[in-house]
Structure 1
């Protein structure tokens, strides 16, 4: 994709690079998130459109675009692509009526991505709802020309002298089989679909210690001496399916850190426009709101230390490398700001200032929307598998006290590592002990039905 962008831009043609996630957008020259570039609504519906208005600078830009590259496309709901199609037909049709009948107004779009990875997130969505939200379930898909890559590029199978490394080749084949749902699987009692696969012995951590201590000691050896080293922190991470397991690991690591603790408390309130109830604040006092935690929102009480790695939870300044998922190391903090150094992406080494912003909870079980003013960061010695998509790591610890629960999660976490030697897995066995070294692999095989390349 980078080569295509460079070729077009060298000819002074306009090519836009977007991605479905902030981390993926940083890998593309001049990359932006698709939602910010095309003003795609956050609440997608079948009849919605992008917020690009006629006779604006952005509309004029769309009329001059010669190619749009969209990376990690399978992560985005199909309505986003359909919204963009309708919007571009309208904008480019104003210039030439013929464009109203062309796909995306006649602008060619290159979609990149991997359907083995995590699919669009549908809160509390069932399997069929997730599958139906994919781009290959849209009417637009029949107009796409498909081309496939058959090798994992993150783990290079070739040695420096050009020979194939059989061990790495076998690892890539194993990971692809897991992603395709072809790995040998068995059923547990009472289950209809075989989803439990055996993890290779060479990747499993054997230890008498509690599971959390075992994965921490394996991934972060000699921690007290090296915990401020940027390279040491950049190349390793612990991945786990659930937020509360990641939080538990981060709390363990925080206790090991030396130095002063800074505690930042948030300001919480209910958004007045989100409820019709009278005197909602009496029913939900501030003390109660402070105890609530929401996915993608930092906690009320944020404890930080200098030298601690953190991860951004919002797209603050994408062109400066501050995207949702960017990892940083705290270098200093004051009452109202955090100073940190970026350790991932295309802006490694840049010093940045982070301030508090207003964050809102969305699509929760509560009958209101809460506003929390807090720094948009979380500690990140450990992160969820979903957050890790798009990142490459030399050393990956997979912590599975509970198995994965969604399509592609096991494939994603196994494919983050750049070398099989850097993969370490800690699993908590089932109570019956009938399936030692087994874990669940969730694959929605119906997602792959119309992914055959064009002939």
Structure 2
């Protein structure tokens, strides 16, 4: 997901460091050092707002001058699936792994120009027409109240959806199932001083209510509702050494006025106790024409998360909730390829009329 400019900046910096006295080698990549890139182009591409498909593809490493001198080494075995398969399931696992690859190599659904409609196999679908969302939750989080104090229970489970609105709907539903007092945290939002100094800036247009109502990527909501035992995800890097980074999941132990006490349940340092403070955050979204500061706990409830946010997470039991279709390259592949076995995946497809379906869009550039 990294923009090619990041790699090119690293190349120039390393050339400045290692070739400062070697003029003849000034065109050598990365100062003559061997660099190993890990990743694959089936995953979700960099998020470039308000641009075309061509613009998004153009920011990839494969569109950089560096790519011409890269040697590509390909992995051929899906160890995530095969390492967890019983002997009796090897053939079924092989078919499932090949179907996932065909999905992202655009070999499912016939000819298309970047977007096609595919049919999800029946054994992967949630078909409970009476209460499909409860069936979705029950698959991923069975006996959740009995496991409320079990941190390992939440480590590799999640409900995925393409958009934040659906994720919020599921998280609110799950939060209501938990016993205990609900604690409400409100953010303190204000315009940055640099904006207030502008003579032509009308502060009356950006009241506190307006700032409180903004929902931006990477910025926690104005109102956060939490309960003890609930899993939450960090939205900002706090401290790298103990593993408190953007995307790290923790389980709430206690809720104070100024700090949240929690156990780490993902990444490294699983089981470590930590404290999360409020932080002053400034959005970097270019859609916002002014600067403001929001002081809030940098967390969000994470029974469910967006597909983009799940990239890089270790998950083993997943429900994919598609109230709206996926909208960019690699989303469907990333969601379906995270499981360790076919039995750990279910898909719920609901249209605008709340009718359960079995077909969904797949976007492949």
For 1:109, the equivalent position in structure 2 comes to: 35
Matching residue of 2:328: 406
* 1:6-42 Cα deviation digits (max 9, x unpaired): xxxxxxxxxxxxxxxxxxxxxxxxxxxxxxxxxxxxx
Take 2:292 and 2:343, find their aligned partners in 1: how far apart are those partners? 44
1:168 to 65, 78, 93: 93
Q: State the Cα RMSD in Å.
A: 2.2
Using CA pairs below 8 Å that are at least 6 residues apart, which structure has the higher relative contact order? Answer: 2
Q: Secondary structure at the match of 1:320?
A: coil
Q: How does 1:354-393 map to 2 (within 5 A)?
A: 354-393=276-315
Report 1:290-369 matches (<5 A).
290-369=212-291
Alignment deviations for residues 214-239 of structure 1 (CA, whole Å, 9 cap, x no partner):
31122212222223321221121100
* Secondary structure, counterpart of 1:318 in structure 2: coil
1:237-262 CA distances to partner (integer Å, 9 max, x unpaired)?
A: 10000011101110111111111222
Correspondence 1:246-261 to 2 at 5 A: 246-261=167-182
User: 2:346 corresponds to which residue?
Assistant: 424
> 1: CA distance between counterparts of 2:324 and 2:25?
51
- Between the two proteins, the alignment pairs up a number of residues equal to 364
Q: Tell me, yes or no, if the aligned pair for 2:252 and 2:263 is still in contact at 8 Å.
A: yes
Equivalent residue number for residue 83 of structure 1: 9
Please say if 1:437 is aligned against 2:358: yes
* Equivalent residues of 1:359, 1:371 under 8 A apart: yes
> What is the TM-score when the length of structure 1 is the normalising length?
0.76
99, 106, 116: which one aligns with 1:181? 106
CA deviation string 1:161-201 (max 9, x = no partner): 7x8810111111011111111112478xxxx7651001011
Aligned pair partner of 2:160 in 232, 239, 244 = 239
Q: Contact between 2:349 and 2:357, CA under 8 Å: does it hold in 1?
A: no
Matched, 1:284 2:210: no
Counterpart residue number, 2:194: 273
Contact conserved, 1:195 with 1:441, CA < 8 A, in 2?
A: yes
Distance 2:107 2:86 in 1: 31
- Residues 1:432 and 1:401: Cα distance change in structure 2 (over 3 Å): closer
Cα distance in 2 for partners of 1:232, 1:271 equals: 42
Q: Is the 8 A contact 1:154 1:392 kept in 2?
A: no
Distance 1:251 1:164 in 2: 37
Query: Cα–Cα, structure 1 residues 299 and 430, in superposed 2: closer, same or farther, change >3 Å?
Result: closer
**Relative to 1, partners in 2 of residues 1:356 and 1:432: Cα closer, same or farther, differing over 3 Å?**
closer
2:174 touches 2:303 (CA, 8 Å); kept in 1?
yes
Is 1:213 matched up with 2:138? no
TM-score (norm: length of structure 2): 0.93
* Superposition deviation, residue 431 in structure 1: 5.9
**C-alpha distance in 2, partners of 1:329/1:79?**
36
Q: Tell me if the contact between 2:163 and 2:306 (Cα under 8 Å) persists in the aligned partners.
A: yes
- Of the structure 1 ranges 324-333 and 281-290, higher mean CA displacement relative to structure 2 is found in 281-290
Question: Secondary structure in 2 aligned to 1:178?
Answer: helix
